[in-house]
Amino acid sequence: MKQISLDEEYEKDTGITPQDIAELRQWLQTQPHLPEKYITDLDLILAYHCCHNSSGLTKQVLDLNLTLRTLFNNIFKDRYNDRIEKLMSDLLLTPLSMRTKEGYVILYARLLNSDPKVFHYGDAVKAVLMVIELYQYEEGTWPGMLLTVDFKGVSLAHLAKIDLFSLQHFLYYLQEAILLRLKGMHFLNAPPFIDKLLLMMKPFMKKELMDMLHIHTADSKNLKDYFPIEALPNDSGGNAESNEKHKDMVLAKLKDYKPYFEEESNKRVTESLRPGKQKTISDIFGGVEGSFKKLEID
């Protein structure tokens, strides 16, 4: 495990300064319910960057991020376990080595084992966020990220295993509290039944996320308009290393990060210490006012 250095982060063209982060740290120390001693300067940089260097917005989003990590036990409790390791042998989740022309990271996901019996949607959601976090730990801020899901091998039996509870939580976290700039979602090799998945997703998606979602069937010609097709693994239509090699690299990295995820479990809110009213799941989904984090459409 090697965290990107703060010096490297400050050298990036983000406009973030040590003074900005020091001021956020001072604010954090006034919040008794937040786990200040476990929040790193890199965490603060990621939050500040995703909020376009707005201090006020960063405070709201960081609080929400930590609150959801506490409330969404299905995603954030017991993150590294044997089931995740097994899932990551049957599923490829990897940032591709090439970026888009804008410099965005492309997170690529696909099944390696198409047997629905080995697919667990809740674990897949956990794994997506774990992979994003461990690469952010090493690389720091990104100009943006594309979430790219390849539907090769996906059947209706897989859709039947999606629990709406985890889907709602994942999409809410993705839209409101993830510490990165999401720039697009792409579904590749979309099957004829993709409309059934969209019907499940739409109740939990804001218009901005719907506008970011691009559906590509197997014969689509416009994928190259969004990212370099050669970035894909060579057995998924590109020129990069194979799916298996990508999987082996990510799985090895994930195993190295077991101590990181044990430490990450401390990044939780103590609701009894929150000034004012404590937050509950019903507060989150019972009509929070507005949304803090602005999704951008390119």
pLDDT digits (tens, 9 = 90+) for 118-144: 999 999 999 999 999 999 999 999 999
Note the pLDDT of residue 1: 82
Q: What are phi and psi of 183, to 5 degrees?
A: -110, -10
Calculate what percentage of the chain has a pLDDT beyond 90.
Answer: 93
Q: Which amino acid is present at 141?
A: T
- pLDDT of 290 above 50: no
The residue among 230, 289, 287, 284 whose CA lies nearest residue 65 is 284
Which residue's entry shows tokens 């000034």?
275
From residue 286, how far is each of 206, 279, 282, 283 by CA, in Å?
A: 16, 11, 5, 5
Give the number of other CB atoms < 10 A from CB of residue 102. Answer: 12
Angle between helices 18-28 and 41-50 (to 10 degrees): 100
Quick one: which H or E segment has residue 284? Answer: helix 281-285
Rounded Cα gap, residues 107 and 143, in angstroms: 13
Bridge partner list, 150: 110, 188
> SS3 for 225?
helix
Give the strands of the sheet with 145-150, arranged side by side: 91-95, 105-111, 145-150, 182-188, 213-215
For the chain, the domains span: 6-75+265-279, 79-256
More confident call, 116 vs 288: 116
Q: What CATH fold (topology level) applies to the domain 79-256? A: Phosphatidylinositol Transfer Protein Sec14p (3.40.525)
- Indicate the pTM of the whole model: 0.94
- The token duo for 29 is 């120390």
- The token duo for 174 is 């993705």
Note the pLDDT of residue 250: 96
Q: Each residue of 60-88: pLDDT tens digit?
A: 999 999 999 999 999 999 999 999 999 99
- pLDDT of 58 above 50: yes
Characterize the bridge pairing of strands 105-111 and 213-215.
unpaired
Across residues 9-24, what is the average pLDDT? 98
- The 8-class DSSP code of residue 145 comes to E
Positive or negative torsion for Cα 224, 230, 232, 238: positive
Bridge partner list, 147: 107, 185
The chain-wide mean pLDDT, for the chain, equals 94
- pLDDT of 149 above 90: yes
End-to-end Cα spacing for the chain: 33
Q: How confident is the model at residue 295 (pLDDT cuts 50, 70, 90)?
A: low
The residue among 228, 147, 214 whose CA lies nearest residue 180 is 147
The residue among 205, 203, 214 whose CA lies nearest residue 176 is 205
Q: What are phi and psi of 146, to 5 degrees?
A: -105, 130
Beta strands in 220-287 (DSSP E): none
Rounded Cα gap, residues 1 and 4, in angstroms: 10
